[in-house]
Amino acid sequence: MLKDLIRKHRRDDEEELDYSESYYDEGGKRIGFIGAGNMATAIVKGLLKAEVPQECISVYDCNVKQLKHMAELGVNIIYDGAELTEKSDIIVLAVKPQNYDEVLEEIKSAATPQKVFVTIAAGISIDYVRKGLGVDCPMVRVMPNTPLLLGKGATALCRSENISDDDFKVVYDMFANSGEAVILPEDKMNAVIAVNGSSPAYVYLFAKAMTDYAVSVGIEKDTALKLVAQTFMGSGKMLLASGDDPDTLIQKVCSKGGTTIEAVNVLNENNVPQIIMDAMAACTKRAEELGK
Ligand SMILES: NC(=O)c1ccc[n+]([C@@H]2O[C@H](COP(=O)([O-])OP(=O)(O)OC[C@H]3O[C@@H](n4cnc5c(N)ncnc54)[C@H](OP(=O)(O)O)[C@@H]3O)[C@@H](O)[C@H]2O)c1
């Protein structure tokens, strides 16, 4: 599906562009990545799994080690951000928020109102990128998460007012092909980082505490991790499939006078739900700072 879309939406003016034959074969949306770290790798693997031709994907990173990993995936390697931008229709800015200014400065000479830019960085808004590029380009702001690497991502997206439905669909499918994808208004994109982008870390923290407890009572670490991870997966599926809300599911595990209610009482007495919400608010606050 994505492969077909990419082929279908080949640019009309592509003949005017200067690109090597090896770079671009039978035609299609050319997707470029600036930054070839965790996120770019996860997205590129998803694209390849969706049978997007390797020739349509290019990456640039200032870190040659990362480029070597990408070269092993068979995608095009370009050693210059402006050149990558010039040779791509959709440019995914996959660097840390702190590196956005230098990247935007480097590529602005190659930015045009026809090129679609995708920001996946915490706190970096559509307006921020457009100001940095000096062009009101079509854009998608995205907040993915690392389980995307396994095709189990949870991604929130929002689109600029001037992106075509077809271009948006290409970007949407990049993420929807590797998990769940939802569309949100841009004023929720900082807050959602706490919900899906950063939240795998809180889950791992919870998992670590549960595993540490298991080890402390003599259960082997690998065994404990297996049980904990499967419990997270099963509970997630219950949340999605049972039709019950979290409170109802908690009640269904807590029989009166039983063991679970004792644990839940300790968590509530220590304000764990409020602490989690405070942690999420700190996450959102940091996103707002990064986008200034
Ligand atoms: N990781 C997550 O869980 C997650 C979740 C949601 C969103 N995101 C967002 O995704 C973005 C990328 O995160 P990541 O985890 O993939 O980061 P990462 O693994 O550190 O990858 C970023 C890559 O960009 C390179 N880079 C830095 N400055 C550059 C420049 N000027 N030109 C070209 N390449 C440059 C880095 O090289 P050096 O290492 O040498 O600096 C690094 O290889 C971030 O903005 C983050 O907010 C991440």
What tens-digit pLDDT sequence spans the chain (292 residues)? Answer: 444 433 333 334 333 333 333 333 344 799 999 999 999 999 999 999 889 999 999 999 999 999 999 999 999 999 999 999 999 999 999 999 999 999 999 999 999 999 999 999 999 999 999 999 999 999 999 999 999 989 999 999 999 999 999 999 999 999 999 999 999 999 999 999 999 999 999 999 999 999 999 999 999 999 999 999 999 999 999 999 999 999 999 999 999 999 999 999 999 999 999 999 999 999 999 999 998 8
Q: Give the pair of three-digit tokens for residue 137.
A: 């380009």
Strands 153-159 and 179-183 turn out to be parallel
pLDDT at 162 (0 to 100) = 96
Mutate which of 34, 58, 63 for ligand 1? The one with the most ligand atoms within 8 Å of its CB, which is 63
CB atoms within 10 A of CB 278: 11
Which of 33, 38, 289 should be mutated for ligand 1, with most atoms under 8 A from CB? Answer: 38
Q: Residue 36: what pLDDT?
A: 96
Write down the pLDDT at residue 291.
85
Residue 170 contacts residue 198 (beta carbons within 8 Å): no
SS3 139: strand
φ/ψ of 126, rounded to 5, equals -60, -45
* Of residues 84, 117, 119, 79, the one with CA closest to residue 99: 119
- Could you tell me the pTM of the whole model? 0.88
> Ligand 1: which residue has its CA nearest to atom 21?
37
Q: Indicate whether residue 196 lines ligand 1 (CB < 6 A).
A: no
Query: For residue 95, how far is its CA from the centre of ligand 1 (angstroms)?
Result: 4
Kindly report the protein residue whose alpha carbon is nearest to atom 19 of ligand 1: 37
Q: Please state, in angstroms and rounded to a whole number, the distance separating the CA atoms of residues 199 and 68.
A: 29
Q: Which atom of ligand 1 is nearest to the CA of 201?
A: 3
Q: Which residue from 78, 45, 84, 83 is spatially nearest to 64, judged by alpha carbons?
A: 78
Would you say 192 and 183 are in contact if contact means Cβ atoms under 8 Å apart?
A: no
Any atom of ligand 1 within 6 Å of the Cβ of 103: yes
All residues at 6 or more sequence positions from 165 whose CB lies less than 8 Å from its CB, including other chains: none
Among protein residues, the one whose CA lies closest to atom 31 of ligand 1: 103
Q: How far apart are alpha carbons 101 and 62 in whole angstroms? A: 15
Q: Please report the pLDDT score of residue 50 as a whole number.
A: 87
Helix, strand, coil abundance in the chain, percent, nearest 5:
60, 10, 30
Domains of the chain, CATH where assigned: 2-186 (3.40.50.720), 197-290 (1.10.3730.10)
Q: Is 146 in the pocket of ligand 1 (CB under 6 A)?
A: yes
Q: Which two tokens stand for residue 254?
A: 């807590």
What b-and-e string marks burial along 99-137, b requiring 16 or more CB atoms within 10 Å of the CB? ebeebbebbeebbeeebbbbbbbbbbbbebbbebbebeb
Backbone angles phi, psi at 34, to 5 degrees: -105, 115
Say if ligand 1 is within 6 A of residue 38 CB: yes
pLDDT at site 17: 32
What is the maximum alpha-carbon separation in the chain? 75
Measured over the CA atoms of residue 136, residue 139, residue 143 and residue 144, the dihedral's sign is negative
Neighbours of 21 (CB within 10 A): 7
